Every structure is written in C-alpha cells, then in structure tokens.
Amino acid sequence: MGQVIKGKPVADAITQSIVKDVEALKAKGIAPKLKIVRVGSREDDLAYERGALTRMDKCGILAEVLELPLDIPQADFVKELKAVNDDPTVHGILLFRPLPKHLNMDEIKFVVEPVKDIDCMNPINAAKVFEGDKTGYPPCTSQACMEILDHYGIEIQGKKVTVVGRSMVVGKPLAMLLLDKNATVTVCHSRTTDLPAVCRDAEVVVAAVGKAEMVKSDFINQGAVVIDVGINVNAEGNLCGDVKFDECVDKASMITPVPAGVGSVTTSVLAKHVVKACKIINNI
C-alpha cells in the first residue's frame, strides 16, 4: 500500500516560515494584508474563504472580505475592484471566480495590478509562470502541488509527469512549473486518446479534471506518485477527488487524499503570496 501524503504537514511547514517573515515585517512597522473580493455567497467560495481567513490569522496576516451583490453591474464592479487595488494598506487580492456571467473578465482580469494579483488572474502573471519568471505568482493550487512534491522529497527532474487537465487555474500553469523543474511533462484533456495508457506511462500523475473518481487503478503504473487536485461530491454525497483512492492506493508509492490533500495547502500558498507581495511593494 502506498504512503498517504497529507497536506497538513506541508501547510504547517509553510505557515511556520511565514510567521517568522510576518514578525520581521511587523518589526519594521509593516502589516501584510489580504483582501478577498467575493460576488454573491456561493457555498464553495464561503468554504474557501473560511479556510483562508483562519490561515491568515495563524500567520498573523490581516484579512478583510468585500462582499458584492450578485447583480452588480460591470462598471460598479470595476470601480469597487479598482478601489481595493488602489488601497495602499492592501498587499494581496483574491477574487473568487467564476464570476456571474454578466461580468466581463476580459476587462476585470487587468484591474488588479500584477504585484497584488496573488492568485494569477492577470495575464502578466500567467506569462511570468510560462517564462519561468519567479517575480510573479502561480495560481495557488498549482503551486500547492509543487509544495507537496517538494515537502515529501519527490524528485521530478527527468521524471515522466502526466497532468490530466489543462485549465488556466490548475493544469496549464502546473505543467509549466513542472517543466521548470526539469520534468518531462505530458498534458492530457478531454480529447486525449487512451488516457489510461498515457497515465500508466507516467512516474507521477496529477489529476485536475473535476470528474469524481475518474482516475482508476488501470491509470496508475505500479509505484507511481499520485497527486489528486479534484474536489467533487460522489454519488453518496461525500467529498471525493478525481482519483478512485481505494483502488489506486495499492498501486501508488505515494498518494494525496481528498479531503486533507492538495486543498489543505492552497491557503498556505495564498499566505506566502501575500507576504511576497508585501515585501515587493515595500522594496524588501
């Protein structure tokens, strides 16, 4: 049976180092601050928000939430977001997405300046991830996968890594982060032919599909590492990942669970990004 690699030890280690950074900033009279911007009250946004607020508190980072109505017009939304961006006490901004359909992301994604855009909404930060420029911020979830690999000493240089999913919030940026660490990366999607065979060829499989328990044991090579990014609800109404854990755990050498896996690391990465933004803004 494979080792179950949980997110908590990773999150705790990141938090520990952030606490020290925040203390040093406070000693200089600087208080790092996160602003969360939420439109409406979707349950998954609220759940993530609770986790983020708790994590910021543990790290000593100030955090505020701006809640906006679901029917807010585009111009008003842009005005509100600009005001948050222009607030000199705010260092990092997290905007929950997807936004309601009437709001136009083509304009909105440029409103938060890159230095405060800590979850990679602005295309300038996406470009930085693709260029390997470390001054930007990869999306927190992609970075959380990298933190898990690093924390558990999983060497990826020269390894065959298959990422299932090519979204701009997880799959594509993660592929670039893995490439930057010299992995040989294959990116799969809904039109991939014989997905199980492509996954079986990999030494590390990352599932970021959004389909409950789709990745079965025939996708996994004996001894492969499995990172499950998915957050889904199964037929029984329970939280589950994109990987059929019970089947894959016997074949994998290491596997992340859901819940308590990748999802537990993302808010720590968020906190790390707030501190990084705060340092850049203050020329530290």
Positions in the binding site for ligand NAP (CB under 6 A):
141, 164-167, 169-171, 188-192, 195, 208-211, 229-232, 242, 262-263, 266
Q: Scan for tokens 């074949």, then name that residue.
A: 251
Indicate the residue among 168 and 280 with the shorter CB distance to ligand NAP: 168
Question: What's the rounded Cα separation, in Å, for the pair 33 and 43?
Answer: 24
- Minimum CB–partner distance for residue 110 and ligand NAP (Å): 21
Question: What's the rounded Cα separation, in Å, for the pair 192 and 198?
Answer: 9
Indicate the residue among 231 and 252 with the shorter CB distance to ligand NAP: 231
- Minimum CB–partner distance for residue 229 and ligand NAP (Å): 4
Indicate the residue among 106 and 194 with the shorter CB distance to ligand NAP: 194
What is the bridge-based pairing of β-strands 62-68 and 33-39?
parallel
- Minimum CB–partner distance for residue 44 and ligand NAP (Å): 8
C-beta atoms surrounding 231 within 10 Å: 20
Indicate the residue among 103 and 188 with the shorter CB distance to ligand NAP: 188
Question: What's the rounded Cα separation, in Å, for the pair 142 and 140?
Answer: 6
- Minimum CB–partner distance for residue 53 and ligand NAP (Å): 16
- Minimum CB–partner distance for residue 239 and ligand NAP (Å): 10
Indicate the residue among 143 and 253 with the shorter CB distance to ligand NAP: 143
In the complex, residue closest to ligand NAP by CB:
167
Q: Which residues contact 31 (CB under 8 A, 6 or more apart)?
A: 25, 62, 89
Cβ-contact 231, 160 below 8 angstroms = no
